[in-house]
Structure 1
Amino acid sequence: MKRILSVISIFAVLLTSCTGDQGPPGFDGFDGQDGGIFVASAFEVVIDFNADNDYQFIEPYGFDVFPSDVTLVYIEWETDNGEPIWRLLTQTEYFDNGVLVYNYDFTQQDVRIFLDGTINLNTLDNVWTQNQAFRVVVVPADNIDGLDVSNLDSIMQAYAIEDFELR
């Protein structure tokens, strides 16, 4: 029994005291600083869609957007007791004479929010085209995995966004 304990002890000491080649260095943190925080940038725009702007709006970010960043756009869909309810685009509304789609696309330089669908956009009531509020959030793609991006509140909480700059 003593011999078995001695062998186990020597084996344990050998395994815990062995060293090998150092692994490759890890990646630097955000902006080259270890342990940096990933920051989400956000702003709000209020848009009037009409034939003059081809039912679209293009907004330059005004800050650096990396190729791996993801842009999310939310529309203020309705209110509940004065509290805005935000929905992630795309949003589709069905009418008797066609379909209206609120949509967006983005590049590293800007985000484009536009109306699309089968409906004649010129026939839409102002409730669908005027004073439409959108919140734009640019987040690092590495940190979006597992987040419920359809819920603006969860994105705001995850990235400590307290308010939106109105542009």
Structure 2
Amino acid sequence: MKKILPLILLAGVGFLSYSCDNSSNDPVVVPNPVDHDTFPIMMDATGSFTAANNYTLISDINIQATDVVLVYKKEGNLWQQIPKTYYLDDVTGLPTARELDYNFNFNSSVVNVETKANFNQGTQMTPQETAKYLTNQTFRIVLVPADPAKKNAAKVSSNVDLSDYNAVVKYYNLDESKIKTINTH
């Protein structure tokens, strides 16, 4: 009996040490995870806001539901992130304190860029304002992967200022020579 007891004890310790080893079940942690189902893409969409399109430009896209869309409005040679509010000058015969807002919403298949105002956009803008704010407006749509580790599209990255177009281009290593032009409807 004295000879069998140490063998049983040794077998028990061996069994316990083997069953406690869970190294094959540990998750693999990648230092900078890469989302392989979506990669950063930029595309330009140009259109005019009119009463006929309800002051909304619709662009077709194709992304994962967790990915992020950023939209920038062309301002001369620069890009301004939207949402953005413009305060129009007071003009005789038109309402005072006019505000024109650009905003957007998206899902996995479309991006809607829209203007909203506290006045009638069809009748209470000067021709110069209509040309500047509503006619032939160009938007750069940037599709970027969400952070898969956080599973939250709102937390793309704390390392990049999303309001700074150039910082986004640099962070995601985007090639501006490969920008696609897409139609709005």
Q: TM-score, normalised by structure 2?
A: 0.67
Matches of 2:136 and 2:37 in 1, distance apart? Answer: 34
Q: Give the secondary structure class of the aligned counterpart of 2:140.
A: strand
Q: Which structure would you say has the larger Rg? A: 2
Match of 1:42 in 2: 42
The one of 147, 151, 157 equivalent to 1:145 is: 157
Structure 1, unaligned runs of 5 or more: 1-18
Where does 1:1-167 land on structure 2 (aligned, <5 Å)?
Answer: 20-22=21-23, 23-26=25-28, 39-61=39-61, 63=62, 65-77=63-75, 79=76, 84-95=77-88, 96=90, 97=96, 98-122=98-122, 123-124=124-125, 125-142=130-147, 144-146=156-158, 147-163=160-176, 164-167=179-182
Q: What amino acid is aligned across from residue 45 of structure 2 in structure 1?
A: V
How many percent identity over aligned positions?
Answer: 25
Displacement of 1:127? 1.4
Count of paired positions: 138
Match of 2:6 in 1: none
Structure 2, unaligned runs of 5 or more: 1-19, 91-95, 149-155
Confirm or deny: 8 A CA contact 2:38 2:64 kept in the other structure: no
Displacement of 1:49? 0.7
Q: Which has the higher strand share?
A: 1
